[in-house]
Amino acid sequence: MTKESNAKQIVILYHAPPGAHISNEQVVNEVNSIQGFCRQNNWKPMHTYIDKSATCTQYAKMMEFAADPSNNIAAILYFSAGHCLPELVGKNDAIIPDGHAGKANGNHVIGGVPYGYTVSDGALELDEDRSAIIREIFQSKADGESLQRIADALNGRGIKSARGGLWNKPGIAFILKNRAYVGEYKYDGVSYKIPETVSKSLFDTVNKQ
């Protein structure tokens, strides 16, 4: 059986409200990046909904499609415009638990996955290789390295960012402030525990500098 035949079927909701001022070209580029990310994780997008309205009309259509058992949808991948798969991971960067914001066939609704994590059975788990990179970033900053030197070191070793491109200062800075790496994910004012990548003491040391 091929990898494609084993792929988890999902639907994608890309939300770009009018106030976000996202160009059509950017929408196309980011949706292409999302679909590439899905292929890397062996997810098979069955439908992509692009919602550019303030009333989220495509959201309702997406939920109807996902809830239909005949479509065999395992999960929903949600991205907010401008925050999908970049070094700047964005606000929607973890699992939304069942019952909190909707679900498809009893599975978790998935937001953008932070660099250093992977998804297994609808839950975030540590990616061994990438989580090691995250720990290196935190330790390098704790040791006094600048954001640019950290980015340059990763780029010099050919290590790709979440999007598959080069690391940069904003991307490193966002990672260092992302509390998901100490196991704290917050959605809609509610906190949830996920596996931690670095200790809270290291996180606090870096963010007090």
Q: What is the pLDDT of residue 105?
A: 35
SS3 123: strand
Spatial distance between the Cα atoms of 99 and 80, rounded to a whole number of angstroms: 20
Asked if 75 contacts 107 with a C-beta cutoff of 8 angstroms, the reply is yes
Q: What is the pLDDT of residue 191?
A: 62
Q: What is the pLDDT of residue 29?
A: 80
Provide the greatest CA pair distance for the chain: 55
Q: What is the pLDDT of residue 89?
A: 29
Q: What is the pLDDT of residue 124?
A: 72
Q: What is the pLDDT of residue 81?
A: 65
Q: What is the mean pLDDT of each run of 10 residues along the chain (209 residues)?
A: 62 70 78 78 83 69 79 76 38 33 36 72 79 97 95 95 82 88 68 85 92
Each domain of the chain, given as residue ranges in start order, spans 4-124, 128-207
CATH 3.90.1750.20 at 128-207, yes or no: yes
Helix ranges (DSSP H) in the chain: 24-40, 57-67, 128-142, 147-156, 169-177, 200-207
> Which helix (DSSP H) or strand (DSSP E) does residue 119 occupy?
strand 117-120
